[in-house]
Chains A and B, each alone.
Chain A
Amino acid sequence: MAKKTYDLLFKLLLIGDSGVGKTCLLFRFSDDAFNTTFISTIGIDFKIKTVELGGKKIKLQIWDTAGQERFHTITTSYYRGAMGIMLVYDITNGKSFENISKWLRNIDEHANEDVEKMILGNKCDMEDKRQVPKDRGTSIAQEHGIPFLETSAKANINVDKGFMELAQAILNKTPGRDTEPKGVDIHKQETGKGKCC
């Protein structure tokens, strides 16, 4: 327990409309599997994955949020601590794409100014049901200066790449990234076994 198994800790957040595949993307990334039968997320979910980047062990703490409007008061409180935000829409659902600007406004309102962002157009395995052309995704991303990828949690397309690029972007601007991290929120009581008050 006392031995730290990683060098840096990054907190990521997944947001986007209900049903776009946030939970599936996270499951693909953390467990390398796809499951069609996820129940909708209520409130907030949490997963950890340790990756290697630039010779460093990086622990990704990923928060998966509920998409429905009702949960926004609960979920927006997580924006503040996030270092990277993954904004997801569904290429087979035009509405989820239109809502991207609403989610971007949410980020502006609630997240740290320097938070790293990334837009994912998920379910790109369903070409025959596509409603959102790829270039519309590209252009909204360019407009806001945010990286963009089309992904598929089902067919495992670009999922690792998306998460790794987001982590890389955070790493790039992490101060003192060659030594012990500073300004990085490492959870304080990582040790302290059974310490009582």
Chain B
Amino acid sequence: MAAYKARLEQFKDALSKSELDIKKIRELSFQGCPFESGYRSICWKILLEHLPLKRDEWPKHLQRQRATYKQFINELIIIPGEKAYLGALADGKLEDHPLNPNPDSQWSVQFKDNDMLMQIDKDCRRLCPDLSFFQSATKFPCNEIIHAKSNVETLRKRVEHTVLKSETVGRNRLGITNMQSTRRRTSDEYALLPDGQEAHWEVVERILFIYAKLNPGLNYVQGMNEILGPIYYTFASDPDPECKEYAEADSFFCFTNLMAEIRDHFIKTLDDSDCGIGYSMTRLMEEIHIRDPCLSHRMTEQDLKPQYFAFRWITLMLSQEFPLPDVLRIWDSLFADKNRFDFLITVCCSMLILLRNEILSNDFPSNMKLLQNFPYTTVEVIKVISKAVEMLHR
């Protein structure tokens, strides 16, 4: 307890300097950031270069960034949403706008990116299903959107209309045009909070949508939701009210900065290059080969390819392998790693080595099960990290 208090003091000390010592903050964060006093959020923002090192620049900088984000929402969601409506109006197609059975109706022409939005939507609804957090309403919905005039096609409306429209089209193909039943709200699967409220997953959806629009070369790739989720969760459940209030904008920038470092893993054409996921998996297996030749031999012999498990481990930075609190702890160290993201490979290596005895004696299917469902209740995250740290020094 006393030791923990002392740690909190250290964080307080380091974070109150007017010129932050990044080395010190890395060193402290590497051991795990406390949730108390919002230290984790602050440290992540510093480590992900969302906050500058000069403390007195913070208010102005944050203000500017948050205003920029607001502008993105306006330019990428609200204005196109209005245009779509006006277009439909000009075409005289407004009458049946939401249920327009004509696939050429203006609003669908406006939105070439509907497929992407639908994919993001599917993935965000299913974000961290074990946690009620993402399904619950945020206290800080985007005002511009929830108070948007009824003539703005918000993301929520777009998703609804796309679902309804495709149903209608499907019906027409069948020759049954039953407008009555399509007008009915879609089933429980698409249940939403009432107007004027937004669930946290909807905020995550908006961030991903804006990110994808701003990064057309990368677009949206499944799994990005699992990278953004823990960051947004951390900021949106911070003890500091201001941090909570601006969780959306701040996590957008942190996510963007983080993606700048890891996006190669998400790009298919780089799979076989020496910066893509293929290379990272090879590095992991080479590391195993050096540290535990016996284990490495066994894995090769059994054809336990890294694609079967490490693809997910590395691409998602382990966010699907551990429960959320453990993921946050691992990310403290990953973000603090100055040779990003070498330490991720070391952690993966440590996970394998901690399971070595089982891997050596199991058959192939048992090993697959083991590696796809890492036994975090017996091989705890603390053990994984301390083994990894030990490996750093050897």
Contacts and interface: CB of A to CB of B under 8 A. Distances in A.
B222 A46 contact: no
Given A39-B320, A42-B316, A189-B363, A131 B222 contact: no
A195 B360 CA distance: 7
B122 A46 contact: no
B173 interface: yes
A46 B372 contact: yes
B44 to A, nearest CB: 23
Interface stretch (A62-70, A109-117, A140-148, A173-181): A62-70
A19 interface: yes
Interface in A11-44: 18-19, 36-40, 42-44
Interface stretch (B53-61, B152-160, B301-309): B301-309
Contact of B311 (A38, A39, A74, A92): A74
Interface in B140-196: 166-167, 169-171, 173-174, 181, 187, 189
Interface residues of A, number: 46
B307 A43 contact: yes
Contacts of A191: 363
A105 interface: no
B126 A38 contact: yes
Interface string B104-145: 000000000001000100110011111000000000000000
B119 A68 contact: yes
Nearest to B126: A39
B245 interface: no
B129 A39 contact: yes
Interface string B275-310: 000000000000000000110011001110001100
A110 B167 CA distance: 34
Q: In the complex, which of the residues B173, B223, B298 has the most CB atoms of chain A within 10 Å of its own CB atom?
A: B223
Interface in A86-144: 92-95, 126, 128-133
Contacts of A71: 222, 268
Interface of A: 1, 18-19, 36-40, 42-46, 48, 59, 61, 66, 68-74, 77, 92-95, 126, 128-133, 187-191, 193-197
Closest 9 CB pairs of A and B: A131-B170, A37-B129, A43-B311, A197-B297, A46-B368, A187-B364, A194-B361, A73-B271, A48-B365
Given A19-B122, A94-B173, A133-B174, 11 more contacts: A40-B222, A40-B223, A42-B226, A43-B311, A46-B365, A77-B307, A129-B170, A130-B170, A187-B302, A197-B294, A197-B298
30 contacts: A18-B222, A38-B129, A39-B123, A39-B129, A39-B320, A40-B126, A40-B222, A42-B312, A42-B315, A44-B311, A46-B368, A46-B369, A70-B221, A70-B222, A71-B268, A74-B271, A74-B307, A92-B170, A94-B170, A95-B115, A129-B170, A131-B173, A133-B173, A133-B174, A187-B302, A187-B303, A189-B302, A191-B363, A194-B361, A197-B297
